[in-house]
Structure 1
Amino acid sequence: MTATIERVPARAPSGGAGADPWAGTAGLLRLYLRLDRVRVAVWTLAVGVPVAGSVASLEATYPTAESLQARAALLSNPSAVMMTGPAFALDDYTFGAMVANELSLYLLVTLAIMSVLLVVRHTRAEEESGRLEVLRALPVGRFAPATAALATVALANLVVGAAITAALVGTGMEAPSSLALGVAAALTGLVFGAVAAVTAQLTEHSRAASGTALGALAVAFLVRGVGDVVDPQGSWLSWLSPLAWAQQTRLYVDLRWWPLALSAAATVVLLVLAVVLAQRRDLGAGLRAPRPGPATASAALLSPAGLARRLLSGSFLGWTLGMFFFAVAFGALADSLEGMVDDIPDLGQWMTVDLADLTTSFAAVMLSFLALAPVAWAVAGVLRLRAEEEAGRVEAMTVTGSSRPGLLGGWLAVVAAASVAMLVVIGLGVGLGTAAATGEVAWIGRLTVASLVYVPATLLVAAVAVALYGLVPRVAGLSWVLVVWVALALFLGSLLDLPGWAMDLSPLTHTPLVPSEDLRAAPLLVMLATAAALVAAGFAGLRRRDVVPG
């Protein structure tokens, strides 16, 4: 008896040579857009609404040609140039030129951060979690996930850029330059998204990839700042920074589009580099081999607090160093407003200042603005524990001897200590800048101590995140809503004439502007007591619920 075996042609694997390398791109794009629909909406609102509010606030604060020229005089200060950008048309400073100076740099940086986070989320983070390997087992081409991720980021930049343009045009700004600012912001976001696509090939960890890309953004910020200080209209050094390409369009002054071609070209070059590098590594691996860790853990890592220090130290150092330089730069402007009072009668509508002692009042206001950073970092630090739980590491710790209260308590102790340290560093930075501007060394100690008044507000916002994490962990991310509201009330509350109850939702509203105001202990004690109650609720919730990944 003879059997006949029929040969069946083998099907090429999804990523093989015989497959379409872009197969499944459309489906992945729909998936990524669905996953990011809330994120993109939040970014759009968080950028578009403050742009409209800022233009309105600037219009109210600088209503005359004389007040505009007084604002232009500030750009003789290197710190002001470092924090804004190249100064055009200073001899006849227009409102449009001022809007470009005040808003463009921060919009560019914001979209760059958004793009870095989104690119890493859909590339390296997917590889690190193992989900990309599962996707590649389906009929998905090897280029499809990265292409869909970059298309998602491009659409996100397009939407946010359109919101910027709409906000500017809606407040009466010139349409061509408003469009140019929206396009410039979107292209700058794409440049740094492409940078993130490159850094995602270098390391096998998503945090390292995003940290490296954000480090490149910090270098670009510094290079542009130093270059603009060398020449207020931009030196050769400025042109080495992608941030400068967008600002060199000379918005609302003498609009030129050609610098944006540099942003487009840089994006293409970086994406090609990312593709080339991706071909030189294995899925899940990075081009840079990870260093082997020690055979045994140090004593510092054998406790929840030690683990928290290890995991949070990188972001803490990055945030703290960045805010220190911002604080010094802002502090250096503290005595630059004395000659502007007569020309800007509506200065008090923009920020709560005592015109009789403008230097003290300005330094206190700058300290309150910068205190928002420790508030945001504290929330991020608390929510990192939720990410550890989703990854299954919290469960592993609890079965190896760490109690739930001990784990949460050690983690929160590190977050609280780091937040206080960041506040102190910010106060020190504002003090150093103010001392350098006024020649009075006493400002250093005065503002360093004054920064401690923001400890209760910082801990209260973090405690909201703790309560949500312990009681309803799936919605713990909603604690960012409070952070956004604190920022809105802080920067635009007075200008938008928000009702008292709405302003009272922000803990910073109840924090006295020390040293320009007298210290009031009662609201600080109430905030501390409320924070303690929320933390206790978080501990109780964590005791009662399951600790499971996902």
Structure 2
Amino acid sequence: MIGTGVLVRLALRRDRLLLPIWILVIVAIPVSTASAIAELYPDVGQRLALGATIMANPALQALTGPVFDPASVGGLTAWRATTIATVLAGLMSIMLVTRHTRAEEEGGRAELIGAAPIGRYAIPAAAVIVTGLANLLAALLLVAGLAGQGLPLAGSVAFAGIVAGVGLVFTGIAVVTAQLTANARTANALALAVLGLFFLLRSAGDAAGAEAVSWLSPLGWAQRMRAFAGERWWLLAVCAAVAVLLVAAADLLARRRDIGAGLLPSRRGPAAAPASLRSPLALAWRLQRGLLFGWAAAFAVVGGVFGSLAASVGDIVADNPQIAEMLARLGGSGVLVDTFFATQLGVFALVASGYAVQAALRPRAEETIGRAEPVLAASVPRWRWLAGHVAFALAGSALILLIAGLAAGLAHGLRIGEPATQATRIAGAALAQVPAVWVVAGITVLLFGLLPRMTAVAWALLVAFVLLGQLGELLQIDETIRGFSPFAHVPALPGGTAAAMPFVWLCLATAVLIAAGVAGFGRRDLQAG
């Protein structure tokens, strides 16, 4: 463990930009949710009516889980914010651990550090400590924010504690996946796949009322912490114990591999490249295909799940004649279903932007690892090499949104007897979100070409777009500021109206950003800042 403190300080310095943003988002969403619920539902009767609606609707429970105390603002806050806060804590933990463990080995920096008087476990220990400190700080700020809203201190501590506890569980999962593969992207993908599986288990269990299924997921444990509704404090000990066991398992796995290697053997390639790999685009396909297949599969599954739940959204108005009459004047319960799809497709677009950033940053990974230089030393123009990866950032993001739309529309259409019509309609609505995603990809390419050491800003901007889109109206942010997000300029489809000019301007902005990034890359040195 010698040198752990030095590596902790180094990691904190490297993450001085990203870490505060992660923590701010994790804290801001529950606190703003509590404020909004207190404002929108000031009367106990209103909160009880909302709680009855939630418990009668499987679609709502699949999205956010059950509500245990609908009479209190805290109970509704826990219902609305627990899933998203714990998912964000899990994402932060996975990204931090992989960045400071497997990515360091893949880049050769771990071996260089290991040549100094640094202990065998200093690097993973520093990653776990930094991630634990980030979760702890988020928990402390959550307690202060929720208690500052007038919510009970015990419930605030329970909510914050379980968010941090789930973050620690995923810290352990990420440490384990970092031992399995020699590639940081694959380690991230494995951990994210586990997170997605846990979300589906929690979602399916809550929608079907199958408690045993929900208990299989740490996200289900977070819901059943029952913050503000008779807290189960022992679940904090469960999270801590699972995290410790996972870290111990990672230690045992680390003893059985060499530095830079993974326990899962890397497949050897042929001695000579086939004709299908003798172009920059073909090379980009070989490097990007695993990421694309993983995202496409995840979007197909999640799209199908939400599509199958869309028809039940109309049940919200079953016991409310006033809302039913209002919807009848607007066009019937189909309006509610369209609103549900429009909301979910907006979220899908934000998530798909994560794929676009990852794909657009693959050239930076190739550059820092040292694989770009031998390729560019041959007769390969820089712009062609970069264009191959940009093509996958653009086409891949459009493809996964199309797949999500088709899966959601097909699942919904099978329930109402119109599979072809609904699949086409929802897929078209999903594609309407693509230009906004492309702008995010364009920003990433621009940063890679001009400011390669600041490519993390692309993730920061994506988080800012998420905040503006999901919380901008709730936090009463000025519409002009919200307009800085490209997602504010795409229509809410299905159900809304679409004009051509926003799509044209977003595509033009993407073209300008990419052209500037490609030009900047052509003029700078490799490995330059």
Question: Same fold by TM (over 0.5)?
Answer: yes
Separation in structure 2 between the aligned mates of residue 358 and residue 88 of structure 1, nearest angstrom: 25
Counterpart among 3, 6, 9 of residue 30 in structure 1: 9
The 1:437–1:48 alpha-carbon spacing in structure 2 relative to 1, beyond 3 Å, is farther
Q: What is the CA-CA distance between 1:86 and the residue it aligns to? A: 4.2
Separation in structure 2 between the aligned mates of residue 510 and residue 293 of structure 1, nearest angstrom: 45
Counterpart among 284, 290, 305 of residue 308 in structure 1: 284
Secondary structure of the residue that 1:333 maps to in structure 2? helix
Is 1:287 the counterpart of 2:267 in the alignment?
no
Separation in structure 2 between the aligned mates of residue 219 and residue 362 of structure 1, nearest angstrom: 23
Residue matched to 1:485: 464
Is the 1:333–1:437 Cα contact (8 Å) retained in structure 2? no
Structure 1 residues 351-362: aligned runs within 5 Å:
357-362=335-340
Identity of aligned residues (%): 38
Q: What is the CA-CA distance between 1:488 and the residue it aligns to? A: 1.9
Is 1:321 the counterpart of 2:301 in the alignment?
no
Residue matched to 1:3: none
Residue matched to 1:251: 227
Is 1:371 the counterpart of 2:349 in the alignment?
yes
Superimposed CA distance per residue, residues 15-57 of structure 1 (whole angstroms, 9 cap, x where no aligned partner) = xxxxxxx222222222222222322211111221222222333
Residue matched to 1:181: 159
Q: What is the CA-CA distance between 1:230 and the residue it aligns to? A: 4.7
The 1:374–1:268 alpha-carbon spacing in structure 2 relative to 1, beyond 3 Å, is closer
Q: What is the CA-CA distance between 1:258 and the residue it aligns to? A: 0.8
The 1:73–1:342 alpha-carbon spacing in structure 2 relative to 1, beyond 3 Å, is closer
Q: Which amino acid aligns with 1:483?
A: L
Is the 1:25–1:144 Cα contact (8 Å) retained in structure 2? yes
Separation in structure 1 between the aligned mates of residue 400 and residue 422 of structure 2, nearest angstrom: 18
Is 1:43 the counterpart of 2:22 in the alignment?
yes
Residue matched to 1:168: 146
Q: What is the CA-CA distance between 1:496 and the residue it aligns to? A: 2.4
Separation in structure 2 between the aligned mates of residue 118 and residue 217 of structure 1, nearest angstrom: 15
Is the 1:75–1:87 Cα contact (8 Å) retained in structure 2? yes
Separation in structure 1 between the aligned mates of residue 349 and residue 150 of structure 2, nearest angstrom: 32
Moved more, 288-297 or 252-261: 288-297
Residue matched to 2:61: 81
Residue matched to 1:16: none
Residue matched to 1:513: 492
Is the 2:106–2:369 Cα contact (8 Å) retained in structure 1? no
The 1:375–1:144 alpha-carbon spacing in structure 2 relative to 1, beyond 3 Å, is closer
Greater share of helix residues, 1 or 2?
A: 2
Counterpart among 446, 463, 474 of residue 453 in structure 2: 474
Moved more, 471-480 or 376-385: 471-480
Separation in structure 2 between the aligned mates of residue 341 and residue 76 of structure 1, nearest angstrom: 10
Moved more, 190-199 or 78-87: 78-87
Q: What is the CA-CA distance between 1:343 and the residue it aligns to? A: 6.4
The 1:367–1:229 alpha-carbon spacing in structure 2 relative to 1, beyond 3 Å, is closer
Is 1:396 the counterpart of 2:350 in the alignment?
no
Q: What is the CA-CA distance between 1:533 and the residue it aligns to? A: 2.0
The 1:176–1:318 alpha-carbon spacing in structure 2 relative to 1, beyond 3 Å, is farther
Superimposed CA distance per residue, residues 214-243 of structure 1 (whole angstroms, 9 cap, x where no aligned partner) = 2222232233334434535x22x3333233
Q: What is the CA-CA distance between 1:326 and the residue it aligns to? A: 3.2
The 1:201–1:166 alpha-carbon spacing in structure 2 relative to 1, beyond 3 Å, is same
Moved more, 92-101 or 447-456: 92-101
Separation in structure 2 between the aligned mates of residue 544 and residue 404 of structure 1, nearest angstrom: 10
Q: What is the CA-CA distance between 1:424 and the residue it aligns to? A: 0.9
Q: What is the CA-CA distance between 1:489 and the residue it aligns to? A: 2.1
Residue matched to 1:13: none
Secondary structure of the residue that 1:371 maps to in structure 2? helix
Separation in structure 1 between the aligned mates of residue 458 and residue 177 of structure 2, nearest angstrom: 30
Counterpart among 501, 518, 527 of residue 522 in structure 1: 501
Counterpart among 297, 313, 322 of residue 336 in structure 1: 313
Secondary structure of the residue that 1:240 maps to in structure 2? coil
Q: What is the CA-CA distance between 1:407 and the residue it aligns to? A: 1.3
Q: Which amino acid aligns with 1:260?
A: L
Is 1:98 the counterpart of 2:76 in the alignment?
yes
Separation in structure 2 between the aligned mates of residue 67 and residue 341 of structure 1, nearest angstrom: 17
Q: Which amino acid aligns with 2:355?
A: W
Is the 1:158–1:186 Cα contact (8 Å) retained in structure 2? yes
Separation in structure 2 between the aligned mates of residue 197 and residue 100 of structure 1, nearest angstrom: 29
Is 1:220 the counterpart of 2:188 in the alignment?
no
Moved more, 178-187 or 242-251: 242-251
Separation in structure 2 between the aligned mates of residue 27 and residue 108 of structure 1, nearest angstrom: 29
Separation in structure 2 between the aligned mates of residue 395 and residue 549 of structure 1, nearest angstrom: 12
Q: Which amino acid aligns with 1:129?
A: G
Is the 1:66–1:343 Cα contact (8 Å) retained in structure 2? no
The 1:461–1:142 alpha-carbon spacing in structure 2 relative to 1, beyond 3 Å, is closer
The 1:428–1:57 alpha-carbon spacing in structure 2 relative to 1, beyond 3 Å, is farther
Is 1:275 the counterpart of 2:251 in the alignment?
yes
Q: Which amino acid aligns with 2:139?
A: G
Q: What is the CA-CA distance between 1:158 and the residue it aligns to? A: 0.7
How many residues are matched? 520
Counterpart among 73, 98, 109 of residue 120 in structure 1: 98
Separation in structure 1 between the aligned mates of residue 291 and residue 144 of structure 2, nearest angstrom: 34
Moved more, 286-295 or 222-231: 222-231
Superimposed CA distance per residue, residues 289-316 of structure 1 (whole angstroms, 9 cap, x where no aligned partner) = 3222222223333222222222222332
Separation in structure 2 between the aligned mates of residue 194 and residue 428 of structure 1, nearest angstrom: 35
Separation in structure 2 between the aligned mates of residue 411 and residue 468 of structure 1, nearest angstrom: 15
The 1:318–1:87 alpha-carbon spacing in structure 2 relative to 1, beyond 3 Å, is farther
Q: Which amino acid aligns with 2:62?
A: M
Counterpart among 217, 242, 245 of residue 266 in structure 1: 242
Q: Which amino acid aligns with 1:83?
A: L
Separation in structure 1 between the aligned mates of residue 461 and residue 94 of structure 2, nearest angstrom: 24
Is the 2:450–2:517 Cα contact (8 Å) retained in structure 1? yes
The 1:165–1:312 alpha-carbon spacing in structure 2 relative to 1, beyond 3 Å, is farther
Separation in structure 2 between the aligned mates of residue 119 and residue 519 of structure 1, nearest angstrom: 42
Is the 2:142–2:160 Cα contact (8 Å) retained in structure 1? yes
**Aligned Cα root-mean-square deviation (Å):** 2.8
Is the 1:119–1:197 Cα contact (8 Å) retained in structure 2? yes
Superimposed CA distance per residue, residues 454-493 of structure 1 (whole angstroms, 9 cap, x where no aligned partner) = 2222222222222222233233332334322321221122
Structure 2 unaligned blocks of 5 or more: 324-329
Q: Which amino acid aligns with 1:452?
A: L
Residue matched to 2:518: 539
Residue matched to 2:326: none
Separation in structure 1 between the aligned mates of residue 250 and residue 430 of structure 2, nearest angstrom: 43
Moved more, 109-118 or 463-472: 463-472
Q: Which amino acid aligns with 2:140?
A: A
The 1:75–1:149 alpha-carbon spacing in structure 2 relative to 1, beyond 3 Å, is same
Separation in structure 1 between the aligned mates of residue 349 and residue 399 of structure 2, nearest angstrom: 12
The 1:438–1:60 alpha-carbon spacing in structure 2 relative to 1, beyond 3 Å, is farther
Structure 1 unaligned blocks of 5 or more: 1-21, 347-353
Is 1:69 the counterpart of 2:69 in the alignment?
no
The 1:321–1:73 alpha-carbon spacing in structure 2 relative to 1, beyond 3 Å, is farther
Is the 2:313–2:336 Cα contact (8 Å) retained in structure 1? no
